[in-house]
Amino acid sequence: MLPYLNDSNQRIFYSFALIVYSGLIYLLSDRPGMITLDLFPHQDKLVHGIAYGVMAGLGRMAFLCWPQVKPVDLWAWFYAALYGASDEWHQSFVPGREVDFLDWGADALGAALVLLVWRYWRSRAARINS
């Protein structure tokens, strides 16, 4: 959390960041095609995992600011995974784009991995500090 912001401002900041990031993914997937360098096979799955991992992290920070949202990690994962599914559906309407359920799997897996690593680091830090 950002120590220089009060609870209300943190709620606005992280919620806004999540909305802006979600909008950025929407805009990128609304393009007919993306020019990428093919460095290795299935690199797009790694890109999907990272992008939705970031989304899950932002979701976690945003949902931490809303005390009525529990469990935070589950809701952050659900948000990222559901957004990934809706993004694949959205791409079915964009010329030059196609639906790939493996992309959605990479979205959901990337979100889960980020949240699991975050949870591990937090529990490890708590053990070290106690």
Residues in Cβ contact with 73 at an 8 Å cutoff, skipping those fewer than 6 apart: 60, 115, 118, 119
Helix boundaries (H) for the chain: 7-29, 43-64, 72-91, 101-129
Question: What is the C-alpha separation between 65 and 69, in angstroms, rounded?
Answer: 9
What pLDDT, on the 0 to 100 scale, is given for residue 68? 82
What pLDDT, on the 0 to 100 scale, is given for residue 38? 80
pTM of the model: 0.89
Which of 78 and 37 is assigned the larger pLDDT? 78
DSSP helix/strand/coil, 6: coil
* Res. 93: pLDDT tops 90: yes
* Res. 124: pLDDT tops 80: yes
The answer to whether the CB of 66 falls within 8 A of the CB of 11 is: yes
Q: What is the mean pLDDT of residues 56-71?
A: 90
Question: What is the C-alpha separation between 19 and 49, in angstroms, rounded?
Answer: 18
Is the CA virtual torsion 47, 51, 57, 59 positive or negative?
Answer: negative
Which of 9 and 84 is assigned the larger pLDDT? 84
Instruction: Read off the pLDDT of residues 18-58 as tens digits, 9 standing for 90 and up.
Output: 999 999 999 999 998 766 778 888 899 999 999 999 999 99
What pLDDT, on the 0 to 100 scale, is given for residue 35? 67
